[in-house]
């Protein structure tokens, strides 16, 4: 059931200027998490988003779930956001990867590396609801939405964001969290490396007869990966999973023109019968897929986070997780700078954030791109080679453990929030 958002804060009537420490442009899941972290650490934060906070919680706005890796769950727990999400989070206990109809498959069992789940499947609207409640309840965060930032000036000792209604927001630092097509990034002259995939992600929810037992499945089909992600049981629908069906972009209009019965039949061919009869419930969504990486994550009094800095193929369900690791690193850098009495917008402070996050993001962007190219084709020698590779990884315990720790988001130099510690 869609829930009404608490009222977003609007600038007081007649006030043309708002002063804050930090202005966050874009209140999607990444920008809102950063605002929540910084507000909790005592910064005065202003978040501006062009969407209506009530509309983004409705079932038709964003039908996706996110696989929230173990490391990201710790960030959300450290920020005390997780209690508002936990009841709607399904743990992933097993991951099964198969190559088309080949028998070769890779099986990751969480019990091989401890008793923690790899990740939790959470509907994006559940995450947005928890964030929205936090931001509207916070005394140090002001959420202005729906409102568009039309320009950003960054000269001298501060920044000034101009809003569509003429309000100016002044701060020491601007954060661009305005997504893959970030206008702030473009206006700052930050170049990108990017390309579109000839694929579209079809997303929908299915009900199935039998329980999924916390198993996430990824099937590599010729058009791209077909993922079955275990969701919490729903009183009305019963056992549920979320589907991310990567398909050739040109075929998607015809698939969307099918009626529910025909669409379900097409989906069932790819889904298989291991969970019994399957039925599509609710709307279908489509997302054009692309890779984008910004050449710099920082500029004068500016830092880019989340999809504004990097957007990757959803093959490994890691885009939001990278964004949450950006949040953890940037929040730590800014809190440390303030403790040392430094200017939070100074280049040397922002440089530390960029150095910390670039490598992880570049590695994941390259890995997801490579996996998609390797698996999204039906060329026989490539199929044989990759099936042998899957079988080899499946047998080599250290290789398996490496992939599992990667999926959990706990490799590399971990920020305090990812370690579950306060800022
Ligand atoms: C099919 C699919 C499945 C995915 N599955 C997963 C998964 O399982 N796990 C995972 O980790 N990731 C996943 N991802 C990736 C994840 O969804 C994104 O990485 C994440 O949503 C990015 O969040 P963001 O806040 O950075 O950007 P966005 O969600 O794009 O938010 C940007 C915000 O900025 C606002 N905005 C833009 N311009 C302005 C402006 N001028 N003024 C004011 N506001 C503005 C917008 O309204 C928006 O709210 C998936 C992606 C796709 C496409």
Residue having the nearest C-alpha atom to atom 1 of ligand 1: 201
Q: How far is the CA of 168 from the centre of ligand 1 (A)?
A: 25
Structural domains of the chain, count = 1
Average pLDDT over residues 201-214: 97
Q: Is ligand 1 within 6 A of the CB of residue 306?
A: yes
Tell me, yes or no, whether 45 lies in a domain.
Answer: yes
Q: Spell 181-196 as b/e; 16+ CB within 10 A means b.
A: ebbbbeebebebeeee
CB 241 within 8 A of CB 394: no
Which ligand 1 atom is nearest residue 148's CA?
Answer: 42
pLDDT tier for residue 1 given thresholds of 50, 70 and 90: very low
Rounded CA-CA distance 249/66 in Å is 22
Q: What local confidence, expressed as pLDDT, does residue 396 receive?
A: 64
DSSP alpha helices (H): ranges in 139-291?
Answer: 183-187, 252-257, 260-271
The DSSP line for 328-387 is HHHHHHHHHHHHTT--TT-HHHHHHHHHHHHHHHHHHHHHHHHHHHHHS---HHHHHHHH
Which tens digit of pLDDT belongs to each residue from 142-193?
999 999 999 999 988 999 999 999 999 999 999 999 999 999 999 999 999 9
Task: Check pLDDT > 80 for residue 277.
Answer: yes
CA of 178 relative to ligand 1 center, distance in Å:
8
Neighbours of 112 (CB within 10 A): 11
For residue 54, being part of any structural domain is answered with yes
Q: What is the mean pLDDT of residues 81-95?
A: 96
34 domain-assigned: yes
Provide the H-helix boundaries in 243-340.
252-257, 260-271, 319-339
Q: Please compute the mean of the pLDDT values over residues 11-33 and round it to a whole number.
A: 88
Inside any domain, residue 350: yes
Q: Buried (b) or exposed (e) across 141-180, using 16+ Cβ within 10 A? A: bbbbbbbbbeebebeeebbbbebeeebebebbbbbbbbbb
Report pLDDT for 110. 80
Over the stretch 384-413, which tens digit does the pLDDT of each residue have? 766 766 666 666 666 656 666 666 776 778
Considering the chain, what is the average pLDDT of its residues?
Answer: 90
Q: How far apart are CA 59 and CA 54, in angstroms?
A: 11
Give the Cβ contact number of residue 1 at 10 Å. Answer: 5
How far CA 54 is from CA of 11, 127, 131, 238, in Å, comes to: 18, 13, 12, 27
Share of the chain above pLDDT 70, in %: 88
The yes-or-no verdict on residue 79 having pLDDT over 70 is: yes
When pLDDT is cut at 50, 70 and 90, the band that residue 236 belongs to is very high
**Gap between the Cα atoms of 311 and 323, Å rounded:** 9
pLDDT at 5 over 60: no
The residue with greater pLDDT, 365 or 2, is 365
pLDDT of residue 15: 58
Report the pLDDT averaged over residues 312-328.
94
Residue 395 included in any domain: no
Q: 235: which residues sit within 8 A by CB, 6+ positions away?
A: none
* Predicted local confidence at residue 404, as pLDDT: 65
Quote the pLDDT of residue 342.
97
pTM over 0.85: yes
Q: What is the mean pLDDT of residues 135-146?
A: 97
pLDDT at site 373: 78
For the chain, the 3-state helix, strand and coil shares in percent, each to the nearest 5, are 35, 30, 35
Residue 165 is part of which domain span? 17-92+120-194+291-377
- CATH code assigned at 181: 3.50.50.60
Please check whether residue 9 lies inside any domain of the structure: no
Three-class secondary structure of residue 389 per DSSP: helix
CA of 313 to the centre of ligand 1 (A): 13
> Is 336 a member of any domain?
yes
Angle at alpha carbon of residue 52, lines to 50 and 54, rounded to 5°: 155
Is 167 contained in some domain?
A: yes
pLDDT at residue number 393: 63
From atom 37 of ligand 1, which residue's Cα is the shortest distance away? 178
**Structure confidence by residue, pLDDT tens digits, 321-376:** 999 999 999 999 999 999 999 999 999 999 999 999 998 898 888 888 877 777 77
């Amino acid at each position: 059931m869609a829930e009404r958002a608490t009222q977003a804060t609007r600038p007081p009537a007649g006030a043309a200027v708002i002063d804050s420490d930090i202005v966050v442009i874009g209140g999607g899941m990444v920008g809102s998490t950063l605002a929540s972290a910084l507000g909790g650490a005592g910064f005065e934060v202003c978040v501006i988003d062009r969407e209506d906070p009530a509309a983004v919680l409705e079932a038709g706005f964003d039908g996706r779930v996110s696989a929230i890796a173990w490391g990201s769950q710790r960030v959300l727990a450290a920020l005390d956001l997780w209690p508002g999400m936990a009841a709607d989070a399904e743990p992933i206990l097993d991951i099964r990867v198969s190559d088309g109809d080949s028998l070769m498959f890779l099986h990751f069992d969480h019990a091989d590396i401890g008793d923690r789940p790899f990740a939790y499947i959470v509907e994006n609207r559940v995450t947005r609801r928890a964030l929205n409640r936090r931001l509207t309840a916070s005394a140090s965060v002001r959420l202005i939405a729906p409102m568009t930032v039309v320009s950003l000036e960054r000269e001298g000792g501060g920044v000034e964001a101009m809003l569509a209604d003429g309000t100016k927001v002044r701060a020491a630092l601007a954060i661009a969290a305005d997504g893959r097509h970030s206008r702030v990034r473009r206006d700052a002259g930050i170049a990108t490396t990017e390309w579109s995939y000839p694929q579209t992600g079809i997303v929908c929810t299915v009900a199935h007869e039998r329980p999924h037992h916390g198993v996430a499945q990824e099937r590599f089909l010729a058009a791209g990966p077909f993922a079955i992600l275990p969701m919490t049981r729903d009183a009305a629908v019963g056992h549920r999973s979320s589907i991310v069906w990567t398909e050739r972009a040109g075929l998607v209009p015809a698939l969307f023109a099918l009626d529910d019965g025909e669409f379900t039949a097409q989906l069932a061919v790819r889904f298989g019968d291991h969970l019994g009869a399957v039925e599509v419930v609710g709307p279908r969504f489509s997302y054009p897929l692309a890779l984008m990486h910004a050449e710099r994550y920082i500029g004068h009094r500016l830092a880019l986070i989340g999809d504004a800095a990097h957007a990757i193929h959803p093959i490994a369900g890691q885009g939001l997780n990278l964004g949450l690791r950006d949040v953890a690193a940037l929040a730590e850098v800014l809190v440390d700078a303030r403790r040392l009495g430094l200017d939070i917008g100074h280049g040397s402070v922002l440089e530390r954030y960029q150095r910390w996050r670039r490598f992880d993001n570049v590695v994941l962007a390259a890995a997801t791109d490579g996996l998609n190219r390797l698996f999204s084709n039906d060329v026989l020698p490539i199929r044989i080679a990759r099936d042998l590779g899957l079988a080899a990884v499946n047998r080599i315990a250290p290789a398996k453990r490496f992939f599992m720790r990667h999926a959990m988001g706990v490799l590399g130099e971990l920020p305090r929030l990812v370690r579950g510690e306060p800022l």
